[in-house]
Amino acid sequence: MVGIVGYGAYLPRYRIKAEVIAKQWGSDPVAIVRGLQLNEKTVPGMDEDTITISVEAAKNAVRRAQINPQEIGAVYIGSESHPYAVKPSGTILIDALGIGPDVHVASYEFACKAGSEAMFVAYSLVKAGEMKYAMGIGADTSQGAPGDALEYSASAGGAAFIMGKEKVVAEILFTHSYTSDTPDFWRREGEYYPRHGGRFTGEPAYFRHIIGAGIALLEKSKISPKDFKYAVFHMPNGKFPMEVGKRLGFTKEQIETGWLVPYMGNTYSGSSPTGLAAILDVAKPGDLIFMVSFGSGAGSDGFIFRVTDEITKVQDRAVKTRELLDNNKIYLNYGEYAKFRRKIKLNE
């Protein structure tokens, strides 16, 4: 059966605390930390972007899969912060990993669900017998406008998944996507920061699409929520994934392992994929994993995974997601953060 043969995550080392951002704008830190359950978030270094994050995550995935990179037939990077408006991100990645030039490469974009999109297409190509291995990556270095609510969450990180048919560590049993035209969050061409519909981003966008994909997956699979060991949803803040999980019938215990957002922030296209990577780091053979992403605009991609006996062989071959989250942190003050994120206007 087709599934994940290798996976890897990457998170930058820099952090900023939510209370530091709140103090800068005279907001109440308690409301942010308790209300949105956001304590701190990752910040990319000045020399990091979606490409460098994808490369590090992809290297970790290859380390786990222990395959010849030349056998990877497709590489898809999903992001809403591709460094170039015109020029693919994946070409730099394949040259860095020694993949190709006989390889299909594309950049995907669908707000926060571009990563799960890349995973879905990579999986489908292997399932169709088009190639031996295909890699799907979700990574972002997203920006929130200064003082906007998004500034507390928009962070940086990503995860990569190599799909294949042999030595599969997590089989993909079912998939389902749910999409509609919903203008909850967008960024027009040439604009620097995204705009959003405030409270409109909740019920008609996030909850409707995740629940739509989630219910369809449960019906298709005839598996009940209680039979899953883990569940992971897109994590725009700490509160939403717990709430949507509850509405679908999942418990806090099932969600907690992949719930990285209180200390990672929202890594956009890398959000549920990094959560999945954290789950795979500790999963045991036979565990069932439920995953539904969400991208504004809007849509959700859902997957049901079953972990195999191979998982225990690969878990220690590369750095674990929680280690990336907990170790080597460097905290920034707001001024340093504004400089890092190029929020300060400079003379050319």
Partner 1 sequence: MITARYHREVPQRFRLEANKCVSCGHINFPPRLVCPKCKGQKFDNVVLKDEGKLLTYTILRVAADRFSKETPIAVGIVELEDGVKITTQIADVDVDTLQIGQKVKLVLRKIQEDGKAGILCYGYKAVVI
Under the rule (CB under 8 A), what is the footprint of partner 1?
A: 12-14, 45-49, 51-52, 55-56, 83-84, 92, 95-96, 98, 328, 330, 339, 346, 348
Burial of 219 (0-12, 13-18, 19+ CB in 10 A): exposed
Q: In terms of CB distance, is 48 or 287 closer to partner 1?
A: 48
80 catalytic, yes or no?
yes
CA distances (Å), origin 271, targets 79, 207, 348: 11, 16, 34
Rounded to a whole number, what is the distance in angstroms from the first to the last CA of the chain? 55
Q: Find the catalytic residue in 19, 40, 82, 112.
A: 112
Distance between CA atoms of residues 14 and 348, nearest Å: 26
Radius of gyration of the chain (CA): 19
310 catalytic, yes or no?
no
CB of 198 to partner 1, least distance (A): 33
CB of 43 to partner 1, least distance (A): 11
Distance between CA atoms of residues 256 and 234, nearest Å: 13
40 catalytic, yes or no?
no
Which residues, other chains included, contact 113 with Cβ-Cβ below 8 Å and sequence gap of 6+? 78, 234, 269, 293, 294, 295, 299, 300, 301
Burial of 317 (0-12, 13-18, 19+ CB in 10 A): middle
Q: Which residues pair with 177 in a beta bridge?
A: 301
Q: Find the catalytic residue in 176, 209, 234, 310.
A: 234
User: Hey, CA dihedral for 216, 217, 223, 224, is it positive or negative?
Assistant: negative
Distance between CA atoms of residues 158 and 110, nearest Å: 15
Structure tokens at 218: 């449960």
In contact, 21 and 136? CB cutoff 8 Å = no
Q: In terms of CB distance, is 85 or 128 closer to partner 1?
A: 85
Q: Find the catalytic residue in 19, 40, 80, 310.
A: 80
Give the H/E segment covering residue 216: helix 208-221
CB of 223 to partner 1, least distance (A): 40
Q: In terms of CB distance, is 13 or 220 closer to partner 1?
A: 13
Q: In terms of CB distance, is 77 or 92 closer to partner 1?
A: 92
Q: In terms of CB distance, is 328 or 333 closer to partner 1?
A: 328
Structure tokens at 109: 């974009």
Distance between CA atoms of residues 244 and 292, nearest Å: 10
CB of 87 to partner 1, least distance (A): 8
Q: In terms of CB distance, is 55 or 248 closer to partner 1?
A: 55
Q: In terms of CB distance, is 52 or 267 closer to partner 1?
A: 52
Give the H/E segment covering residue 43: strand 40-43
Catalytic residues: 80, 112, 234
